[in-house]
Structure formats: C-alpha cells, structure tokens
Structure 1
Amino acid sequence: MFDTIALASPPLQQSAEFAAALAFCGQQAAQLDDGTLALTRRICGIPIALLSRARLDPPLLPGLIARAGLRRHLILMNPETPCPGLERLGAVPLITPAHVAELDLTGNLMAGLHQKWRNRLRHARSQGLHMTQAPLPLAPAHWLLTAESAQQRARGYRNWPTALTLAYARANPGAAQLFTAHQSGIPVAGLLILRHGMAASYHIGHSTPAGRAASAQTLLMWQAMTWLTTQGATRLDLGPVETEQTPGLTRFKLGTGARARPLGGTWAWWPPLGKTLRPLARLDRARMYQSWTEAPAPDY
C-alpha cells in the first residue's frame, strides 16, 4: 500500500519500536492487517481504540477494524496526513489538525539552515562546550528526565510519562540517544532523540539558563542531525509547531530547515453507526480544510 521508504520510516507512534516499548510496559497494541497500531483501553466502561499518526486508507478501514475485532470500539483517529475520506465513513472531526516540523536528512543540512540559526550555531561553537553522546541511562532520576517532568508541570503540557521513555530505551537498546552539553563539567543542556526505522523523533530538549546563554541546544541539535545522517536516517520529526503558543520553539525547529506540514486532525467514529453522522462532519468541513492549508512559518 505504501512505498518502501514510508514503510521503513513510520511515525514514532506507529513504529515497531513504540510497540515494543508498550509491550515492555505490559500494554499490547492491537494491529490491523495493514500494520497500523491501535492502542485499546476502556474509559468509563467504553472500549476505545486510538489510531495515532496512522496512515489511513478510509475505504479499507471498516474491514480492517472488523477483522481486528474492534468493531464495537469507539475509534479515535489522528491521521498522519489530511484524510477527508473519513468524513464519508461517518467519522466526526473533533480537533482541527496540528502541524508538525519534519526535516529531510538526505540533503545538504548546512545549506538548509536559516541564517540566524546558523549564527547561533557559530556562537555555540565558541563557548567552550564539551559535548557527549550516549544511550539514555536507565535511571528515572536522570537530570534530563526530572527537568522535563518539572517543566511539564510548570508549563502545563504533557509528554510521555518517564516510565514509557525508559521502557523505549530498554526495549530498543541504543535507539534512545542522549546528547549533552557540559560547561565546566556541569550539564547545561540535553537533547533526547528516539530512533525508529529509518526515521527519528525529537523527544526531550532542556537547557539551563547557562545553556540558553551559550546556545547549547542549537549545537546539540546540529550534532544530532549530523549523527543521524551517518546512521542512514532519512527524516527527523521535530514534533508540533505552534506560532502563537510556542513561537520560540517553533522558530528553533523551523530554523533547522524543517518544513511544517499538517496532520489530519482528530476524528471519532463508532462503526455500528455507519454513515449516520456524516451531516455532522460536513458542519466542520471548512474549519478542518482551512487548517490543512495554513502552515506555520518562522517569524525571524
């Protein structure tokens, strides 16, 4: 159904590595005939199946869901790409599409950098930072993991629980790579990259005030980018970009030369209802389609 490169570099949430991490945590993901992973659980007694970052072919979906034994589940879908065909199935859009930044690692990385990003890289190189790289230590109290947890609480966002990040590292030896910048022997910035297939994903990044002053995160990202190319990776997923909520992080991500592209939004579908709810989907059509065409742009 998909070309060879697409199959070899699935999104993180649809990768064999992610499935292995879930299994390590004791949670098995259902798998459709086409390889799509579906996370199943019950919420208030309702069986739910989540298809996150899935490459969907709507006409085939009813059969795939039925053969996986999920026909009585509420299906929540966050397609990897815009997927208007879900509307024709009777799926209802819940959340308009987010945009993600993706960096092509097969071209000239230096040529793709925005000039201000290149300037920060030059600045970081002059700060006497000592750089290290190693697999993520399997320690819940590691400074980067505790800093990320504290940052989530302070800023009110959610990332993976620490247990899942550690399970990913345990289930996939060497796939969770930690890049660290030290100043006078003290870590001032860290970057955690997760490998999956021929792709990789930016997972955690944190800088102390000293690290920010030294542009350490820029140098860490550059080291990660160049290392990934030596490992044969073709794509780096830098995660969501949002110009209003996180303009600085968006500039950082897009300054690498990454391109912003829309996902497919979040949809809900209960197969027993069939196409009954198609009229509701039409009400949100304009809003969903507008989100698919409006990509964030770096404001330098």
Structure 2
Amino acid sequence: MPFDAPQTTMIRWNGLSAKAWEKQLARASLAPCQQAYAFGEVIAAHGGEVVRAELVNEGETAGLCQIAVRKFPGFRLATAMMGPVWLREDLAEDTRAALIDELGRTLPIKGLHAFLLMPQGEGSGTEEKLRLRRVVSPYHTVLLELTQDEEALLAGADGKWRNRLRAAEKAGLTINLLGRRAEQYKWLLEAERRQQKRLGYRALSPLMVPAWQEKAGKDSVIGFEAKLGAERVAGMLLFRHGATATYHIGWASKSGREANAMNLLLWQSIRQLKKKGVTTLDLGGVDTDHAPGVARFKLGTGGRLISQSGTWLLRPRLR
C-alpha cells in the first residue's frame, strides 16, 4: 500500500536540461559526483540508461535523483547512486518519505525491476517509515570544508599529518599540475588499474576519468604528480563538480610513500581547489577494517566523518 503522501508532493521525470539540473544541484549542502548530470551522461554514452527526477514539494524542487538502470534478461536494476539529494534540509520526515515512495511508484520502467536507493545522511525514520530493506551496509566518507583559510585547515589537521606534510616539503619533491588533457594523467590511470588488480579492491574504472572530463569540461579534473628527480613517485586526481570536489585516484610508489608525497599532493590539491571556488572536498570512502592506512590518511586532514545510511531496496514490482 502506498505511503499516505501529502497532496503537495509530486515527481517530474526527465524535465531538466543539464544547465538547469546543475543549477538546482548547487543548492545542496553536499552534491556527490554520482548525482552530477555529467556522470549520467557518461553512463549513457557507454550504453547505460539514465532517468532523472525532480522531487517537488509545494511547487518547489526539494530534491533531485539521478538513477542508473542496468538491464538483465527479463529484469532491470535501477540504482539511485548516492541519491536522492535533498535541496532542503528542513524538509519534514513525512514529506521525504512520501517523495521517495512516489519516486518508486512512478519510476518510468516497465516490467520486473528492483529499485535501490543510497540516500545521504546517517538515516532517520524515512527508510523505516517506508519499510525498506537495507541490502548493503552504510558507506563512510570524510568531508573537508574548504571555506576555512589555509592556516585554519592546517591547525585542524592531526599533528602527525602536519608533520608528514612538512617532511614532504623538505624531501626534494617536484610537484606538477595535471588535469586539463588526458595525456597528462594517462600514466596515473594505468598505475591505478595495476593497483586495483594487485590489492584486489573495486572502484570506478580509471576509464571513467577521460569520459567524465569530456562531458563535464576540462576544468572538471584536477590533479598533481610528484617527482623525485626524473622519477614519478606519486599522483592524485580529483573530480570537480559545482562547489564540491571528490577525491578519485591516489597512487604512490615506495619512494613516494617514504617521502610522504601523498600529503603534499593533497595539500596542493586543496590549495588549487580553494582558488577555483570549491567549498567542500569529499575525500571518498573510509574503511578502517580493509584499508586502515588510507582511512588514517583521510581522517588525518581533520575533516568530518559522515555516514550514509546504506543501500535500501524498494521491493521488485511488476507493472
């Protein structure tokens, strides 16, 4: 039985242009790159299907939800990647629940399908109110507010993190800006591919980077490399989307790790992002069980640890 929705709620499907979508998304306190219009365009360009929804309350767009659809024989799986994104933090719980329920009921997909949600925030009564079932445990990330000046950012970092940064500044590293052309960072994508294979973890395909840049623009990728003499010893790439940036790839050789190159690369990235007007840096997933070193590196910046409530299933429907 559908949730008892307020009559002021409705869903508008596929009605916004790229420009209008990004303008609305800029209202969000945190806009994940998976909800950027360009991210959906990359999926569509590689044969996927994408639908986009405006979640409307009292005539105002209160949320956005970009949904990727994967096709299987006789079945489709729709996933709201890190969504929906709420544009009004004061939205009542009943209204959020009503909008999510209507999102599932009006999803423009025919036949047998399942719909997965990955809402932001640590969870509240919305999922329970709708009797959703959690199928994947919560995701954790670190947010660093870049509206602070550099002195405040350094003061907020862990002492050991600052010490490693100072050591890197004295290690003889040469730092070069990357990003405006795919040829500049092709080597880093290959290093990331090898790293994923060696360590056995799954992440967005390195091929996503040039495809993202093609759709989102040259300034949507920012990165740096570190060299010791002529040798590349570390590299870092971030996605820029509106006033938010997301840490995407980081790699360092043994020499780079010994020189604390990643601390210096991240610090240079932070300074560059501030110049570009970025106000929030999403440092990406934190897993203290399987990648404790990476977790310590991200948490050491002094950023705020936040948890997403998990991935929730709206039960399969046949329409």
Partners in 1 of 2:184 and 2:200 — Cα distance?
21
User: After alignment, is 125-134 or 66-75 more displaced?
Assistant: 66-75
- Number of residue equivalences: 272
TM-score (ref. length: structure 1): 0.83
Aligned to 2:114: 74
Aligned to 1:102: 143
Does 2:271 align with 1:242? no
Aligned to 2:54: 33
Partners in 2 of 1:233 and 1:140 — Cα distance?
22
Change (3 A) 1:20 1:8: farther
Does 2:163 align with 1:122? no
Q: Which digits, 9 at most, give the CA deviation of each residue in 1:132-171, with x for residues without a partner?
A: 1131542599221111111111111111123222201222
TM-score (ref. length: structure 2): 0.79
CA shift at 1:25, angstroms? Answer: 2.9
Alignment of 1:199-214 (within 5 A): 199-214=244-259
Query: Do 1:33 and 1:68's aligned partners in 2 also have CA atoms closer than 8 Å?
Result: no
CA shift at 1:63, angstroms? Answer: 2.0
Does 2:101 align with 1:47? no
Query: Do 1:25 and 1:164's aligned partners in 2 also have CA atoms closer than 8 Å?
Result: no
**Tell me, which stretches of 5 or more residues in structure 1 are unaligned?**
274-300
Match of 1:64 among 81, 103, 107: 103
Amino acid at match of 2:212: Y
Query: Do 2:161 and 2:297's aligned partners in 1 also have CA atoms closer than 8 Å?
Result: yes
Alignment of 1:84-95 (within 5 A): 84-95=125-136
Q: Which digits, 9 at most, give the CA deviation of each residue in 1:28-72, with x for residues without a partner?
A: 410012331000112343111101111363221232334441475
Supply the RMSD in Å over aligned alpha carbons: 2.3
User: After alignment, is 34-43 or 230-239 more displaced?
Assistant: 34-43
Query: Do 1:152 and 1:158's aligned partners in 2 also have CA atoms closer than 8 Å?
Result: yes
Change (3 A) 1:93 1:9: closer
**Tell me, which stretches of 5 or more residues in structure 2 are unaligned?**
1-8, 10-23, 56-63, 87-95
Partners in 2 of 1:91 and 1:140 — Cα distance?
45
Does 2:34 align with 1:22? no
Aligned to 1:295: none
Higher relative contact order (CA 8 A, sep 6+): 1
Using the aligned pairs only, state the percent identity: 33
Alignment of 1:98-247 (within 5 A): 98-107=139-148, 108-135=152-179, 137-139=181-183, 142-172=186-216, 173-247=218-292
